[in-house]
């Protein structure tokens, strides 16, 4: 049991740093996209700096954290007695579905990262702000599933964060409207 607790602690540490990396990388994408609209030489200076920052964040923190979080999760699930018990529970199946979505989200962020490193801007900064909510929804769903250990009650938490996200987006639109009014 003590070994399981060490594995669980390491898994949680790397899940936290993985999410921190995902949240911050998308924020850097927003800045990088907005820097693309600046006049020279500001544009080139900012783009160079953001490329360095995203490279370091992505390859030194985010990718290693994703790999280590996954490594410790697999170790817990497949090489401990308690893991075999968890794998038989319906809430764990739902949780693993959200983890799969997290991997897809991570891989899509990797595609966006590679495009921006080549100065290819395919999305708006507003899209990236919305995109950032995807990781938040996955995080809430997984946390509620793990804490409640119920394959149904997590829905209330996800609905709550979804409604909260809508409020944030409405607030963002309101702020943008006020900002553009003040700049006119």
pLDDT 10s digits, 148-176: 887 666 677 677 777 877 887 788 788 77
Res 131: pLDDT:
92
8 is in an annotated binding site: no
Is residue 98 within 8 A of residue 142, CB to CB? The reply is: yes
Res 157: pLDDT:
67
Residue position matching structure tokens 């390859």: 59
pTM, two decimals, is: 0.85
Q: Which domain holds residue 177?
A: 2-183
Nearest Cα residue to 109 out of 131, 138, 125: 131
106 is in an annotated binding site: no
Residues of the chain falling short of pLDDT 50:
none
Res 114: pLDDT:
98
Res 179: pLDDT:
73
Query: What total of structural domains would you count in the chain?
Result: 1
CA 91, CA 47: separation in Å to the nearest integer? 43
């Amino acid at each position: 049991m003590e070994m399981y607790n060490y594995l669980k602690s390491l898994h949680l540490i790397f899940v936290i740093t993985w999410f921190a990396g995902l949240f911050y990388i998308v924020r850097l994408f927003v800045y990088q996209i907005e820097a693309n609209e600046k006049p020279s030489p500001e544009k080139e200076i900012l783009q160079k700096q953001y490329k360095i920052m995203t490279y370091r964040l992505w390859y030194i923190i985010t990718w290693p954290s994703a790999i280590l979080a996954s490594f410790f999760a697999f170790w817990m699930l497949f090489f401990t007695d308690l893991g075999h018990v968890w794998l038989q529970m319906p809430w764990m199946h739902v949780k693993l579905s959200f983890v799969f979505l997290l991997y897809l989200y991570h891989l899509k962020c990797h595609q966006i990262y590679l495009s921006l490193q080549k100065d290819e801007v395919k999305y708006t900064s507003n899209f990236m702000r919305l995109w950032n909510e995807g990781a938040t929804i996955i995080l809430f769903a997984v946390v509620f599933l793990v804490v409640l250990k119920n394959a149904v009650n997590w829905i209330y938490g996800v609905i709550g964060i979804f409604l909260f996200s809508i409020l944030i987006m409405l607030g963002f639109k309101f702020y943008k409207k006020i900002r553009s009014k003040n700049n006119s």
